[in-house]
A and B are shown apart, each in its own frame.
Chain A
Amino acid sequence: MKEIVAIIRVNKTQATKKALGEIGIYSMTICRVLGRGKQKGLHYEITGGGDEEAERLRRERIVSIFSESFDGGQELLSARGMRYIPKRMLTLAVADAQAKGVIEAIVRANQTGHIGDGKIFVSSLSDAVRVRTGERGEIAIL
Chain B
Amino acid sequence: MSLRASCAISGLRSEPMKMVRAVVRPEKAEAVAEALESENFPALTKMDVFGRGRQRGIHVDGVYYDELPKTLIVQVVRDEDAPKIVDIIMKSAKTGHFGDGKIFVSEIEEAYTIRTGMKGL
Contacts and interface: CB of A to CB of B under 8 A. Distances in A.
Interface stretch (A47-55, A61-69, A115-123): A115-123
Given A35-B46, A117-B114, A123-B108, A104 B19 contact: no
A137 interface: no
Size range of the chain B interface in the assembly: 20 to 34
Interface string A38-64: 101000000000000000000000000
Contact of B37 (A40, A104, A108, A110): A40
Contacts of B55: none
B115 interface: yes
Interface string A64-89: 00000000000000000001100101
A119 B111 contact: yes
A138 B5 CA distance: 28
Nearest to A72: B48
Contacts of B42: 36-38, 40
Contacts of A118: 114-115
B117 interface: yes
Contact of B43 (A37, A103, A124): A37
A120 B112 contact: yes
B6 A119 contact: no
Contacts of B47: 31-34, 89
Most chain B CB neighbours (cut-off 10 Å) among A6, A34, A107, A120: A107
B31 interface: no
A134 interface: no
A38 B43 contact: yes
A22 B61 CA distance: 54
Nearest to B2: A111
A84 to B, nearest CB: 7
10 contacts: A33-B47, A38-B43, A104-B9, A107-B1, A107-B5, A107-B117, A117-B115, A118-B115, A120-B110, A121-B76
Interface of B: 1, 5-6, 9, 17, 19, 33, 37, 42-47, 74, 76, 106-117, 121
Interface of A: 2, 5-8, 31-38, 40, 83-84, 87, 89, 100, 103-104, 106-108, 110-124
